[in-house]
Amino acid sequence: MTGLPEHAPESAIWVAFSGRADLPWLALLRPGFRHCFCAVADTTGWTLVDPLARRLVVQRLRVEREFDLPAFWRRAGFRVLGPFTPAPAGPSLLPPLAPFNCVTACLRLLGLRWRLVLTPFGLYRRLARHYAAGQIGKKS
3-state secondary structure the chain: CCCCCCCCCCEEEEEEEECCCCCHHHHHCCCCCCEEEEEEEECCEEEEEEECCCCEEEEECCCCCCCCHHHHHHHCCCEEEEEECCCCCCCCCCCCCCCCCHHHHHHHHHCCCCCCCCCHHHHHHHHHHHHHHCCCCCCC
Q: What is the pTM of this model?
A: 0.83
pLDDT in tens, 10-46: 789 999 999 887 777 777 788 889 999 999 999 999 9
The predicted-structure confidence for 43-97, as pLDDT tens digits, reads as follows: 999 999 999 878 899 999 999 988 999 999 999 999 999 999 988 877 777 776 7
